[in-house]
Amino acid sequence: MDLPKPEVLPAGHCYPSLGMQALEAGIASLSVPPSISRDLAMVNEPRGKGGPSAHLEGSKDSLRGSPPGLDPERRERLWEKMKRRMESGDKWFSLEFFPPRMAQGAVNLIALFDQMGAGGPLFIDVTWRPTEDPGSDKETSSMTIASAAVNYCGLETMLHMTCCHQSREAITGHLHKARRLGLKNILALRGDPTGEQWEEEEGGLSYAADLVKHIRSEFGDYFDICVAGYPKGHPDAESFEADLEHLKEKVSAGADFIITQLFFEADTFFLFVKACSEMGITCPILPGIFPIQSYHSLRHLMRLSKLEVPQNIKDVIEPIKDNDDAICNYGIEQAVSLCQKLLASGLVPGLHFYTLNRWKATTEVLKRLGMWTEEPRRPLPWALSAHPKRREEDVRPIFWASRPKSYIYRTRDWDEFPNGRWGNSSSPAFGELKDYYLFYLKSKAPREELLKMWGEQLTGEESVFDVFVHYLSGEPNHHGHPVTCLPWNDEPLAAETSLMKKELLRVNQRGILTINSQPRVNGKPSSDPVVGWGPSGGYVFQKAYLEFFTSRKTVEALLQVLKKYELRVNYHIVDVKGENITNAPELQPNAVTWGIFPGREIIQPTVVDPVSFMFWKDEAFALWVEQWGKLYDEKSPSRLIIQHIHDNYFLVNLVDNEFPLENCLWQVLEDTLELLNRPTSE
């Protein structure tokens, strides 16, 4: 397919002095935000929405590399992962969470997913809260929380779903939506009656076995299905034996595995497994573990589950019921002891933890069991999504390195994703990013905390410089508060930033405000704890990269300095209005991270792409106002300072292509700062 050639406007389209400087120096070939515009970038989309290569059918540039296979688990179903772990004898754990009631709770829960996801759970599950519109798009709904876990936290996720008080049509609609959102695991439950007595739903599904049959009938084997088991029998069952018959019916209907209700004694589980085996139930059975965390939470959970606490546990916790720390410590010890007995039995393939949306007790239990892995090696240099349609994705622009959830959100409607290489990027259909209120894109820190970090009152641009410096240094600001995030990075600094900390501090102190960077790497082992990624036995490479905001005056000096580095350094300079100065080849991405692994093709997971940069710059500039400026009153001096930076600064990215040599970008900036300090008469 022939794509229209972008119109190249005269340099200096918006600011003649900058554009003409670059053109006269012979170092800028394009100045074209309108020519690489949103209108042009969205044309010629023969296959709906998709990534760069998806729009070049029939051209040589559309050929994709074969799947690199860096992480086979990305392509496995949950039951396949379980089977592989069971065959290897590798025990696993999983975690249960429930949707919060308040919007800020959703922000906190996503942060908890990231925190506990670092320990290596095989999957998480999210409960279904029928009274809170669980299938809606509300940010606190079960469906939305589970979708966020899959798409934005990269976690294998199972959604609870109940069938009581719902029509077949409503249930089918929920399942279609779950599939569309990337969810592929369902915990099928009957649910609790609204009154004291259970009543069958006319025209609906009355029992969990009916729900399992319905899922299999409507969706085949798309979903992996889990069902609940009750080690002492369901409280509403006629007998323990009758409950086992119901469980067998659920498994026979198509369930893949069982998670049990919580219990406190190992023998309870052993007897249950033996009874299941005698009944002919052979699928995996995961024990449900509840580390006691407080007297109140224990009583609440017992009331909901209609279970009794063993007398020996009551004897311990009753005297300390007003001391939550003591009860939590006891709960950890009790859970560790229980889990050790279960694991030693050989009957347990994995452990499922009821977390109550708290991290401390469950994390401590797992660490004591040696199951909290926190593997430092990354499959790819950026955070993965677990959505099935992204399972082959292995290339992204570097600009969203610190905002992966935003990148995933903006590309959520793509039909396919770059694999093997980015390709010609004449038409990346990035979505607009206006939904800054979405809980998975907001800062985890509340407004009051952000003001303490970024300044309750700014006195000038230097106040902003100080915020960046304190974020990099890790030292408290002038008011004694540590700066742990910026609008462009809601997380602590990446480990590789420490390799450049001295240089970064120096340039930020002078008004070169860095928001993204990576050091040069020339053949480090893929197992390197700081810059490594991918399978063992490989080697990784990086070109030095810097991205920063800076003033017009600094950009003018930088353009003069870049004359000396014309062949070595690629650059892209743009302002909020779209003035765009670059020496990068037109529409040509530049691979800045790649890896070589035994028996595999070269993988290039990170690129600097000129078209994507023009979409990123909209977001990057908007964050000044949306995340920082709006902390202040509209006409306040602080708000005006942030607005001035937004309106007048430039966003710059620099790539040093000579990765075998020492990084020259620091010298480029030193020369720029020196030029700024020269007397004007020179």
Active site residues: 96
In 370-460, which residue ranges form alpha helices assigned H by DSSP?
404-410, 447-454
Strands 544-550 and 92-97: unpaired
Q: Are 447 and 92 in contact (CB under 8 A)?
A: no
Is-contact 430 461, C-beta < 8 A?
Answer: no
Interatomic CA distance for residues 559 and 440, integer angstroms: 38
SS3 content of the chain, % helix, strand, coil (to 5): 40, 15, 45
Task: Kindly state the tokens that stand for 377.
Answer: 């090696």
* Ordered strands of the 521-525 beta sheet: 396-397, 603-608, 590-596, 539-542, 521-525
CA–CA distances in Å: residue 63 to residues 66, 341, 393, 435, 516: 9, 54, 15, 34, 30
Nearest to 77 by CA among 150, 185, 151: 185
Collapsed DSSP state (helix, strand, coil) of residue 546? strand
Based on the number of CB atoms within 10 Å of its own CB, is 592 exposed (0-12), middle (13-18) or buried (19 or more)?
buried
Q: Under a CB-based contact definition with an 8 Å cutoff, are residues 94 and 285 in contact? A: no
Kindly state the DSSP code that residue 624 receives in the 8-state scheme: I
| Token pair belonging to 472 | 């990099």
In sequence order, which residues have a C-beta less than 8 Å from that of residue 171 and are 6 or more positions away? 161, 163, 204, 205, 211, 214
Helix spans in 412-510 (H): 447-454, 461-473, 501-509
Which tokens in the block code for residue 458?
A: 């700014």
Count of CB atoms within 10 A of residue 281's CB?
Answer: 19
Q: How many residues does the chain have?
A: 682
For residue 496, count CB atoms less than 10 angstroms from its CB and return exposed for 0-12, middle for 13-18, buried for 19 or more. Answer: middle
8 Å CB contact between 406 and 619: yes
Nearest-angstrom CA–CA distance, 538 and 531: 12
User: How many Å apart are CA 259 and CA 283, to the nearest integer?
Assistant: 11
What is the DSSP code string of 100-129?
-SSHHHHHHHHHHHHHHHTT--SEEEE---
Q: Starting from the edge strand earliest in sequence, which strands make up the sheet with 513-518, in order?
A: 513-518, 544-550, 650-656, 569-575, 580-582
479-487, long-range: CB within 8 Å, 24+ apart, which pairs?
479/452, 481/452, 481/453, 482/453, 483/453, 483/454, 484/445, 484/453, 485/443, 485/444, 485/445, 485/450, 485/453, 486/515, 487/443, 487/623, 487/624, 487/626, 487/627, 487/628
Note the maximum CA span of the chain.
96
Residue type, position 142, single letter: S
Q: At what angle do helices 360-369 and 324-344 cross, to 10 degrees?
A: 40
Write the CB contacts of 657 (distance below 8 Å, at least 6 apart in sequence): 543, 568, 569, 570, 590
